[in-house]
Structure formats: C-alpha cells, structure tokens
Structure 1
Amino acid sequence: MTKISVYIVEDDPMVLEVNKGFLEKMNGFTLMGAATNGKDAVAEIKMLKPNLVLLDMFLPDISGMEILVELRTERIPCDIIMITAARDAVTIREVMRLGAVDYMVKPFRFERFQKSLQDYYKMAKKITGLNLLKQEDIDEWLGSSENEVELPKGLNELTMKQILLGLGGAAMPVTAEQLGQNLGMARVTVRKYLDFLAIKEKVDIEMQYGYVGRPTKYYSLK
C-alpha cells in the first residue's frame, strides 16, 4: 500500500506546524498540502483529492462544517478527521452524520493524534484493493463488532459514541461533570455511561482526594 496522502486545514500557523510535526512522526502518511482558510482548502482538496483531510472547524472565511458539506455534496473521495475546539453535542452529532471518521478536540496530545491516524491506516490498508468486504470488516470500519457487549436498557449507541469521542478528545482525564459540560449533557447521564464503561474496563479511573468530602473520579480511555 502506498502512503496515505493527507491535507491539513488549520488557520492558526502555530497549530498547523504542530500538526505537521505530528504527521511527520507517523509512518505510512505523507503531507499533500495545507491551507489556512476554507476557500483555498476546498479548491486544493478538489484538485489534489487527498486520501485524508484533517479539518479545523473554525476558519476565517467559511466553517469547517461548510467545507465538509461541500465535499460530501460533490462526492469528493476523501475521508475527514475533524480537529477543533468545538465540543457541543449538536456539532459533534452533525459532523458524525456527515461521515467524519473521527473527531479530535483541541488541545490534544500526540498520543491521541497517533491513535486516530493509526486506526485509519489499519482499516484503509485492510480494504485497499478489495471488491467485497466481510461483515466483520464493515463492523471494524464502523467501529462496532458482534463481540461487543450489548448496551443495557437506558443507554443508546449515539450517546455512547459521543461519550467515547469526548473522552478520546480530552487532553487529560476529566470528571463526569466536566465531560458533561463539554458535550452539553447532564452529569447524571454522563455518569451512567462512564460507570458502564468502567465495569467493562474500557476506561481508567483516577481518584483525587481533597481535604474534605468524597474523592473525585477522573476518567480517561484505556
């Protein structure tokens, strides 16, 4: 498999250089181009047709959401990973409905960037050159599996995905209240999902003790 071509859209020059540096550390990827505004990005993406676009949400002219809609409307054959400070649940849901393969919340560590691109690379490599996919291949691509434990009554897949995306995009461990604020969800709702993930050993829990009262739980993905 040839290297995956990547185009980066980021209006902050310093953040752009950081993301370029992260990408240089990754095997199997090559930078095809970059833009600091939406209109240049759309024109070059349509012309170059990269395999993968790392797309910022907030740009000086048009939004990353508008770019995503235009690329999907014109059926440009590229995958999208959103990289943004936007954490509201409405935006995240809309981005996922439009087919983004991942959603990274700024600021993030290299480890999160690395995981996102490695996961993308593994599946891209697996399906390259195949005409037909097995069900397990499709499930892996969509992030689901027959081997996963069925969610109990009261929990739904869409909310679970938002919780997992929120945890994955967090720069450091978060409390249920913090994650709820980031996602626009009630703390009680978030806690139910986090408790379920803890039972299934999908999250790490760090206890921080104060001078009085109960210890505070901080959650992060394993």
Structure 2
Amino acid sequence: MNAMTNPPIEVLIIEDDVKIAEINRRFVEQIDGFRVVGIATDEPQANAQLEVLNPQLVLLDIYFPGASGLSMLHHIRAHHRETDIIMITAARESEAVREAIRGGAFDYIMKPLVFNRLKETLVRYTAYRAELDRLTRSDALSQSDVDRLTLGSSRADNGEPHSLTPKGIDRLTLDKVVQALAGDGAGMTAEQVAKVIGASRSTSRRYLEHLVGQGDVYADLSYGVVGRPERVYRTKH
C-alpha cells in the first residue's frame, strides 16, 4: 500500500499577460507538490476566483489594467487570511518592493521569471507550510519553533541555524544583495555591493556569483583606465 501523501498546494496566478501567465503555470506545475487551479487576468476575475477557489498561494503581478497589484495584495491579506502571496513583477522600484514586504508577501521575484529562482522559493514555501501545519497541532511554541518559520530557515536540535538556501548562503544577506543591484541599473562591482550591504568584498562576490549561477544576475567585464578588469553585475531585465 502506498504511503499517504499531502495534497498539492493550490495556486492562483494573477497576471494580465496571458502568455506570461501560461509560462508561469507551466513552471509551477513542473515543481512537485503544486497545482495551478486558476488564472485571472484582471481584478474582477481575481476577486471571483479568490472567493470560489480559496487558493493557498497566489502568484501576483503588480501591474495589470484597472488595478494595482499592491492593492490586491492588501485585499488578499485582509479578506483571505489563509492565502499567501508571492509577487512576480517587472517593477524594480524600491518602494514597491518595500510595500510588498510590509504587506506580507512571502517573496518578491523579478521578471523575467527564472525557473530555478521560482523553484527555490516554492521549496521554501513548502517547508514553511509544513512547519506551520505542525505548529497548529502543538500546544505551545518554543523559540526554535518560531525560528523555523522565520525567513524560510529552521534550526536543528543543537540550536544551529539550518538554511533552506545553499550552504554558506544566508537568506537575509542574499536579499540585501538583490536589493542593492535592483537599485542600480548601471551595474555594480563586488566591492560596491559590499559597501552597500556592509560586508566584505569576498562575501559580496560569493553571493553575486551564487545569483549568477541561479540565472538571476549576469556579469560583464569592465575595463578601467588602470588596473585589472573588474566583473560588473547586473540584474536581468
């Protein structure tokens, strides 16, 4: 007899571009444990499908006709408290990112959507939901229980942090690097990023190369007047 498995996490995609929505659907359904139950291309469709489908997760664009994705984010948080949101958008304005984070978005992913980046987020989300479900069955919370829900990380029995990101990559630092690059369209060197995030150049470069490997960032060589060429990192537009 096969062991019982958890039902797939149901996902609603809110995206005005039908082709992009279809690409996102195909990406999501390549990842184990997820199923797209609907696609909405405007606010009325989104509201109707939220009411009928009651999805566990929404992939939400910021810009679509006649509405703001940030307003939709706040609407979902107010009226569909059991539904989580991942923002997927071309918006690179720092204020939009800050508002999405303040509004309770689980993550914020820039377009064009990179499969590996989406997969990493959904893997973290799966772990987050599993831990949340476990805690709902617990009589009392400990500090380690709370830590497991923080930024997609968990703590082992010995109290040491265990990240769902690759070994040596801290989620908070990675987010700082991403935000630093998003605020400078001209590109940045590892040394420039290091100054912004308050880390060493070697640490900065390790995180930047991780993002290059994930496909979220690309690097070019910049030849200055003197000295050796430097790698300049830019987000993919």
The TM-score bracket by the shorter chain reads 0.7 to 0.9
Alignment pair present for 1:18 and 2:32: no
Alignment pair present for 1:92 and 2:97: yes
Report the 3-state secondary structure (helix = DSSP H, G, I; strand = E; otherwise coil) of the residue aligned with 2:231: strand
Q: Residue in 1 aligned with 2:82?
A: 77
Contact 2:11 2:35 in 1 (8 A): yes
Query: Which runs of no fewer than 5 residues in structure 1 stay unpaired?
Result: 149-158, 167-175
Change (3 A) 1:76 1:11: same
| Higher CA-based Rg | 2
Q: Whole-Å Cα distance in 2 between the matches of residues 137 and 188 of structure 1?
A: 37
Question: Deviation string for 1:121-178 (max 9, x for gaps)?
Answer: 1121222243244423422322167857xxxxxxxxxx96752453xxxxxxxxx6x5
Greater length-normalized contact order (CA 8 Å, ≥ 6 residues apart): 1
Q: Residue in 2 aligned with 1:142?
A: 150
Q: Whole-Å Cα distance in 1 between the matches of residues 70 and 120 of structure 2?
A: 23
TM-score normalized by the length of structure 1: 0.75
Aligned partner letter, 2:146: I
Question: 1:208 Cα shift?
Answer: 2.3
Query: Which runs of no fewer than 5 residues in structure 2 stay unpaired?
Result: 1-5, 162-171, 210-218
Contact 2:15 2:41 in 1 (8 A): yes
Q: Residue in 1 aligned with 2:3?
A: none
Matches within 5 A, 1:8-157: 8-131=13-136, 132=138, 133-143=141-151
What's the % identity of the aligned pairs? Answer: 33
TM-score normalized by the length of structure 2: 0.70
Report the 3-state secondary structure (helix = DSSP H, G, I; strand = E; otherwise coil) of the residue aligned with 1:181: coil
How many pairs were matched up? 197
Q: Whole-Å Cα distance in 2 between the matches of residues 218 and 141 of structure 1?
A: 35
Alignment pair present for 1:181 and 2:149: no
Q: Whole-Å Cα distance in 2 between the matches of residues 197 and 147 of structure 1?
A: 23
Question: 1:30 Cα shift?
Answer: 0.8
Q: Residue in 2 aligned with 1:217?
A: 231
Question: 1:194 Cα shift?
Answer: 4.9
Q: 1:3 is matched with which residue: 1, 8, 17?
A: 8
Q: Residue in 1 aligned with 2:195?
A: 192
Q: Residue in 1 aligned with 2:213?
A: none
Report the 3-state secondary structure (helix = DSSP H, G, I; strand = E; otherwise coil) of the residue aligned with 1:99: coil
